[in-house]
Chains A and B, each alone.
Chain A
Amino acid sequence: MSILNLEFFIFLTIVLFVYYLLPGKFQWVWLTVSSLFYFCYHTVWYQLAAYFAFLVINFVFSLLIDEKFKHRKAAFAFIIVFDILAFVLLKYSSFFYLYTADLLAKFGVVFDSASVKYAVAFLQELCPPHISYFGVIIIGYMCDVYWGKIKVQKNIGKYTLFTSFFPILTSGPIITYSQMENEFFAEKHRFSYDKTVSGAERIIWGAFKKLVIAGRCAVIVDEIYGNYEAYPGLYIPLAAVFFTAQLYTDFSGLMDIVIGTAELFSIKLPENFDLPFSATSISEFWRRWHITLGEWLKNYVLFPIYRSKTFKRLNKWCKAKWGKNYNKKFDLPTYLALFVSWFIIGLWHGGGMNYIFGVGLFMWAVIVISDICKPLFSKLTELLRINTDCFSYTLFKRVRTFIIFAFGLSFFRAENLTEGFKMWREMFKQFNPWIFADKSMYDLGLDRLEWAILLVSLLIVVLVSYIKKLGSVRACLNRQNFVFRLGIYVFLFTATIVFGYYGQQFNAASFIYGRF
């Protein structure tokens, strides 16, 4: 069930109505039942069986690793290996099989086993939906219990709600137990007019971004990506820019809908975006874009790797070889730990080298190169007497960050890595700045009115981001008179209904981040 259709709206209304009628101690029970219903809806029985097996096995082990169980360390090691194996086998076996077969073929070895193919197809079919979200939430939870950061949840119903709260299943945010314990279980959630209005506000804003903007960007992007040889020169960076706009409005729009939906239940979810395009470096960008995934990787991948015995030994070895301040010049252990983290970020986005490169290793390379070249850049700006403490320099850094991000992201949209590079090669075949002045833009699937709607809507997003940069959009809205606020809601709602892009291929269910 998508979260942007009538079916979901009816489901949500019923769940909300019953939720506020129930006494506090039954509210979480109702949410658990509703979340399980949501999960079971349209999910085939064997995928459900895999989901429940994953859930229950982890629950049992969470009890073992928390208690003063003699072998808790071994139990923790086992469950983490089990989870990673289950995750990789169910979600990525096809990618690894095809990639290995391809690689072996280059060395003249034919790897074409019918039984392996059958096993891969079986695992792919067995993979429960939403595993990229509930799977990583559970792995994080197991680590937190083992490290003693939280007390284990001994009630399997509450544990199920935390791992599978229905609004977060399709697209996150990736929550942690310490963030959510009070939100879910602390007290009775009473119906609040303010929270309901705030939640509805976020939902309308998210739907506006998704339907009015992302839908239109997709038309341009699909047209150029689908036939890039016919669109050489500046069409290629244009597609990259509009794909970045599409992904941002699609994913942040979806997050607004999810966070708004949770707010209707008086539950506060963590934010996943914090003005990413205001970032002045790629590392800062990723602290502002898909924040909860970044936090998850930091806490459960980067930190454990860097603090492992192997890395501590490597650190000592580097100090002995290059001196105690070696990390100021070439921080090998950090670069290696970051490599693993970025590889996982890429892989998490999809089983394909285009994902691993575009939103993984390319970003890693940029971060490492900027770290190594930092002293050189400082000397250069000093030598050229560039004022680094002014708006124009900050703007330059923001534009530079945007270009780097959009370049990496363009591979995310490409069919595969080779197609991604081939597409960029087309850029150098022609220099055609006139396409922005003649009527070429109208050949990309949007007419004059559609372009006007898209650009005005993008301007509204920029304006709202600017207000957010200055303070809080909600506080700004609340300061206004009721009639003005109502006018904004009516405008957004009407614009979404009237200008929402519902082309022939339109499917409101198909959020880009909803498929992970």
Chain B
Amino acid sequence: MEKDDILQKVNEIMSDVFDDDTIESTRETVASDIDDWDSVNHLQLMSEIEDKFDISLSMSEVQGFSNVGELVDTIDKHISDENGH
């Protein structure tokens, strides 16, 4: 899966979690850009991402990324690792 595809899928998950179909995040989007992105929604977002991509994020990853781009890179790293690259 390419990083653009991951970003698109992350956007779909975000629309679902934040209950807002108009969300179109980019790699530069940060939590404060999205009204409902608080700690509770963040946890649900992480949980949905783990389910949809079938990966398991560590605590430092859940708390660590500073924008959507870093989240996409983290997901990409997990997918690559699981595919044995």
Contact A306 B59, beta carbon cutoff 8 Å:
no
Complex partner residue of B44 from A143, A287, A312, A334, CB under 8 angstroms: A334
Among A282-319, those with CB < 8 Å from B are 283, 287, 298-299, 302-304, 306-307, 312, 315
> In the complex, how many residues of chain B place their beta carbon closer than 8 angstroms to a beta carbon of chain A?
14
Contact check, A287 vs B38: say whether CB atoms are below 8 A apart: yes
A149 close to B43 (CB less than 8 A): no
Task: Tell me whether A338 is interfacial, beta carbon within 8 Å.
Answer: yes
Cα distance, A303 to B44, chains bound together (Å): 11
B43: A residues at CB distance < 8 A: 302-303, 306-307, 334, 337
Q: Are A149 and B39 in contact (CB under 8 A)?
A: no
Shortest beta-carbon distance, A190 to chain B, in Å? 30
Whether B80 sits at the interface, judged by CB under 8 Å, is: no
Q: Does B63 make an interface contact (CB < 8 A)? A: yes
Partner of A315, one of B19, B47, B59, B64: B47
- Chain A positions within 8 Å of B40 at CB level: 331, 334, 338
Question: Which of B44, B59, B62, B64: most chain A Cβ within 10 A?
Answer: B59
Asked if B44 and A327 sit within 8 Å, CB to CB, the answer is yes
**Given A303-B43, A306-B43, also A149-B38 (CB < 8 A):** no
C-alpha spacing A283/B46, complex, angstroms: 20
Contact residues in B for A303 (Cβ distance below 8 Å): 39, 43, 59, 62-63
User: Is B83's beta carbon under 8 Å from chain A?
Assistant: no
Is B60 in contact with chain A by the CB < 8 A criterion?
yes
> How many residues on chain A are close to B (CB under 8 Å)?
21
A-contacting residues, B19-72, CB 8 Å: 19, 38-40, 43-44, 46-47, 58-60, 62-64
Chain B residues with Cβ below 8 Å from A302 are 39, 43
Of B19, B39, B59, B64, the residue contacting A307 (CB under 8 A) is B59
Cα distance, A303 to B46, chains bound together (Å): 11
Distance in angstroms from A141 CB to nearest chain B CB is: 14
Interface of A (DSSP majority class): helix
Q: Within A68-84, which residues are at the interface with B (CB < 8 Å)?
A: none
Q: Say yes or no: is A147 at the interface (Cβ < 8 Å to chain B).
A: yes
Q: Determine which residue in A287, A306, A331 has the highest number of CB atoms from chain B within 10 A of its CB, and name it.
A: A306
Shortest Cβ distance from B19 into A: residue: A328
- Bound Cα distance A307, B39 (Å): 13
Is A487 an interface residue when CB atoms closer than 8 A count as contact?
no
- Bound CA span A327–B41, Å: 10
How far apart are A171's CB and chain B's nearest CB, in angstroms? 24
Alpha-carbon gap, A149 to B62, bound state (A): 11
Interface string of A148-174 (1 = CB under 8 A from B): 110000000000000000000000000
On whether the beta carbons of A149 and B60 are closer than 8 Å, the reply is: yes
Contacts A283-B38, A338-B40; A149 near B47 (Cβ below 8 A): no
Q: How far is the CA of A307 from the CA of B43 in the complex (A)?
A: 8
Hey, which chain B residues are within 8 Å of A287, CB to CB? 38
Residue of A nearest to B40 (CB): A334
Q: Which A residues touch B62, using CB under 8 A?
A: 303, 307
Q: How far is the CA of A298 from the CA of B47 in the complex (A)?
A: 16
Could you write out 6 A-B pairs with CB less than 8 Å apart?
A147-B63, A148-B60, A302-B43, A303-B62, A331-B44, A337-B43
Chain A residues engaging chain B, CB cutoff 8 angstroms: 143, 147-149, 283, 287, 298-299, 302-304, 306-307, 312, 315, 327-328, 331, 334, 337-338
A-B interface, 5 closest residue pairs, ranked by CB to CB distance from nearest: A147-B59, A149-B60, A147-B60, A298-B39, A306-B43
